[in-house]
Structure 1
Amino acid sequence: MADGAAPRNGLRAAAAWPARHWKTLVHWALVLAALAYIGWQMPELVRAVRDADEVLAQVRPGRLLLAVVLAMAALVLYGEMHRRVLEAGGAAVPARTVQAITFAENAISNTVPVVGGAGALAYAISRLRRRGVDAALASWSVFLPGALASILLLVLGVLALGAAGWLPLWLAVVVAAAIALGAAGAWAVVTHPAVLRRFLVVLVHIGRHLPWLCRGCRGVWASDPDGTAARLAARIGLLHPTSRQWAGLVVLSLLSWAADFLTLVACSTAVGLPAHWTALALGFLAVQVSIALQVLPGGAGLAETGLLGVLLAAGAPAAPAAATVLLYRMITWLGLSVVGWVVYAAQIHLAPPHRHRHAPEPLAGTL
């Protein structure tokens, strides 16, 4: 009897262990798994360093430092987009908090296999919820900057293809304009109250069956899905940025992409790569497409191959082209990911108490 009681006592003890301890354990396991993945990729990078050691030995430190600063600036500018959307919705979240969330979100997306993209979004939303931001605004502030940045990258990419001669310039301008106008039209449709409410009703019906969501919230959604959707639709309806705010978001997104591209330019000049800006622009697009495909976290493998292939096809010498790829990816992928995971680990001790609410979300912008 005593032998049978021991396992039951052990199960009760495990169940009684505070939930925050389990969260901390999972938290650290995630950090260690991501760092292990980064370590797994390091041998390939070390071999690439050996192949380009002669070029790297002559690297210009000032240009390399500029590349690091530009890469950090690109992510900081993207984080500022998050903060501006929160501000438009009435949530005064400190800039340092939003930046910490952005850096950690970037690290999760770039290094966690399979679910990195979705996990990064969920992480960012949960962090904002802990800061008292309501669910609708937290989700909107994560979704909107990403969508806007993707649309602008499409527009810039089409224009770059036109400038490089891969498309007739007039056609590139027409396609870019069509993308911009189509995105504006889609925004108007999606945010139309009737369309938005029907869409949210579907999401609420799906969400109430997801076991990992809060049981209390799922109970409210199950009892009144239409009312829940109406409250969320009303809240999102208040989150329309003004024309001035839209302009600020567009400028920040363009500056973020520009800083990221200039990071690649700085890496190329640091090793003396004689590449035209159009070749670098096409290589940059190849990297971003590889990252978006999420075949592997951060586009590992595909991004390096695509960038190197474009540079070699443009006639760049092999050694400085390989060195450029190596420096750019070490800074923008591995370097920023390590910084993000350090921030993520630090938030174990800095995160405020959980402030999740089960009351109906506010219909006004006051949070």
Structure 2
Amino acid sequence: MSRPPSVVQERPAEVARRGGGPRWLRLVAVGAAVVTLAVVGLRGRLPDPGEFLAALAGAGYGWVALAAALQVVSLLAFARQQQHLLGNLGVRLRVRRLLAITLARSAMSISLPAGAAVSTGYAIREYRRAGVPRRVGAASAVVSGLASLGGLTLLYVVGGAGVVARDPGSYLSWRPPAVVAALAALTTAGVVLGRRFAARPGRAPAGGEPAWAGGAGRRAGRLLTSARGAWRAGAGLRARDWAVALAYAAVNWLTDLLCLAAATRALGLPVGVTTLAGIYLGVQIVRQVPLTPGGVGVIETALVAGLTASGATAVPAAAAVLIYRLLSCWLIIPAGGAAGLALRRAHTVTPR
């Protein structure tokens, strides 16, 4: 039996009206979460409030504006990378939509436990809503993850080459090479093993699924099939496509590092770019241990400790770290929440 025409006609407007209030409540909840995370993460880690506020007031706000612009470029580079990967996998999406997805998934990665996994699942779901097949979305996530490791490696290989060219003796006292070599090995192993795995012909079980395969077995089978499909799609990319993805990832990392550098310049910290690059790499390794969502408290402590160990005083170091974290973390959470709500609203009002 068909539904009454009035119900069918009025439901979209009804949903849109009902959704307005809760969306604003969600934005307020996101803002409250940001404040709570900031208070918990920074509690006991900031110096005397008066000195700290005086340092912030004396910051060079031209450098702060540059740091904000660099963070925007960092996010845009990631969105462009996704556009390039999806385009070469056969799907075209506008960079505006991809930037909204990037903001929303970044907010999730920063603010939620196991945020990286949650944000990846969210991105694949949003891609599917945009018409991207699941295997293509998963392939993009896999290639993007490997490109991210490779981009960080490339950044430090090029930077290390520059350091050695300028001062060959500094190589022995520069710590990042061992870490960079490990990142390079991990990225290469992921690409090589993944391409070999994808190249193996899949064999469907004769007579369908085995009798012992229950719900868990079927889910595991579907997961393996999906993983194989994602690897096959990723393995089909040309070397040129991988190189472009790698370049975008390197720009993403570089602009984030330069954002930190601009924040330190805003407070006049006596820390060179080479030293700052070493501190930044150490922090990126520390943040991989999911002690807190988004590394809240851990990253701030590590950055302040690294800057003070390099000759900066505690008050301006803490102020510089706060500026950097505001731009690269705290402000992204409400911006990502607003982007996620906008995407959800677009899905709600778009006729199907």
What amino acid is aligned across from residue 344 of structure 1 in structure 2? G
Whether contact under 8 Å (2:271, 2:312) holds in the other structure is yes
**How many Å separate the matches in 1 of 2:202 and 2:39?**
50
Q: Deviations over 1:216-274 (max 9, x none)?
A: xx9xx57x958x96687467424322122122111111111110000011101111111
Flag the 1:194–1:92 CA change in 2: closer, same or farther, 3 A: closer
**How many Å separate the matches in 2 of 1:143 and 1:249?**
12
**How many Å separate the matches in 2 of 1:103 and 1:273?**
30
**How many Å separate the matches in 2 of 1:355 and 1:196?**
42
Which residue, out of 271, 281, 284, partners 1:285?
A: 281
Whether contact under 8 Å (2:176, 2:281) holds in the other structure is no
SS in 1 for 2:304: helix
- Greater relative contact order: 1 or 2 (C-alpha under 8 angstroms, separation 6 or more)? 2
Once the two structures are TM-superposed, the CA of residue 282 in structure 1 deviates from its matched residue by 2.5
SS in 2 for 1:191: helix
Q: Deviations over 1:65-102 (max 9, x none)?
A: 11001011111101211111111110111111111111
Residue in 2 aligned with 1:263?
259
Question: 1:141-152 alignment to 2 at 5 Å?
Answer: 141-152=140-151
Residue in 2 aligned with 1:237?
232
Whether contact under 8 Å (1:63, 1:269) holds in the other structure is yes
Once the two structures are TM-superposed, the CA of residue 105 in structure 1 deviates from its matched residue by 0.2
Residue in 2 aligned with 1:125?
124
Residue in 2 aligned with 1:250?
246
What amino acid is aligned across from residue 314 of structure 1 in structure 2? S
Residue in 1 aligned with 2:71?
71
SS in 1 for 2:284: helix
Instruction: For structure 2, list consecutive stretches of 5 or more residues without a partner in the other structure.
Output: 1-10
SS in 1 for 2:237: coil
Superposition TM-score, scaled by structure 1 size:
0.73
Instruction: For structure 1, list consecutive stretches of 5 or more residues without a partner in the other structure.
Output: 1-16, 211-217, 357-367
Residue in 2 aligned with 1:360?
none
Please say which of residues 48-57 and 68-77 is displaced more in the overlay.
48-57
Residue in 1 aligned with 2:107?
107
Once the two structures are TM-superposed, the CA of residue 155 in structure 1 deviates from its matched residue by 5.9
What amino acid is aligned across from residue 128 of structure 2 in structure 1? R
Residue in 2 aligned with 1:189?
193
Q: Deviations over 1:23-58 (max 9, x none)?
A: x79988876654332111344659666441222111
1:297 correspondence with 2:306:
no
Whether contact under 8 Å (1:89, 1:238) holds in the other structure is yes
What amino acid is aligned across from residue 327 of structure 1 in structure 2? I
SS in 2 for 1:273: coil
Residue in 2 aligned with 1:60?
60
Once the two structures are TM-superposed, the CA of residue 157 in structure 1 deviates from its matched residue by 5.5
Residue in 1 aligned with 2:8?
none
Whether contact under 8 Å (2:114, 2:290) holds in the other structure is no
**How many Å separate the matches in 1 of 2:231 and 2:283?**
33
Please say which of residues 33-42 and 43-52 is displaced more in the overlay.
43-52
Flag the 1:34–1:209 CA change in 2: closer, same or farther, 3 A: farther
**How many Å separate the matches in 1 of 2:307 and 2:118?**
33
Question: 1:301-312 alignment to 2 at 5 Å?
Answer: 301-312=297-308
Whether contact under 8 Å (1:158, 1:172) holds in the other structure is no
**How many Å separate the matches in 2 of 1:108 and 1:149?**
18
Once the two structures are TM-superposed, the CA of residue 116 in structure 1 deviates from its matched residue by 2.0
Aligned-residue sequence identity (percent) comes to 25
What amino acid is aligned across from residue 85 of structure 2 in structure 1? V
Q: Deviations over 1:83-132 (max 9, x none)?
A: 111111101111111111111000011012x2322211111111001011
**How many Å separate the matches in 1 of 2:60 and 2:187?**
42
**How many Å separate the matches in 2 of 1:355 and 1:121?**
26
What amino acid is aligned across from residue 52 of structure 1 in structure 2? F
Question: 1:152-231 alignment to 2 at 5 Å?
Answer: 152-154=151-153, 156=155, 168=172, 176=180, 179-180=183-184, 183-193=187-197, 209=215, 225=221
What amino acid is aligned across from residue 59 of structure 2 in structure 1? V
Flag the 1:198–1:347 CA change in 2: closer, same or farther, 3 A: same
SS in 1 for 2:331: helix
Residue in 2 aligned with 1:359?
none
Residue in 2 aligned with 1:8?
none
Residue in 1 aligned with 2:97?
97
Which residue, out of 309, 312, 315, partners 1:316?
A: 312
Flag the 1:178–1:342 CA change in 2: closer, same or farther, 3 A: closer
Superposition TM-score, scaled by structure 2 size:
0.76
**How many Å separate the matches in 2 of 1:170 and 1:314?**
14
Flag the 1:175–1:39 CA change in 2: closer, same or farther, 3 A: closer
Flag the 1:196–1:332 CA change in 2: closer, same or farther, 3 A: farther
Q: Deviations over 1:325-359 (max 9, x none)?
A: 11111111101222111111222211268999xxx
Flag the 1:278–1:193 CA change in 2: closer, same or farther, 3 A: closer
Once the two structures are TM-superposed, the CA of residue 62 in structure 1 deviates from its matched residue by 1.1
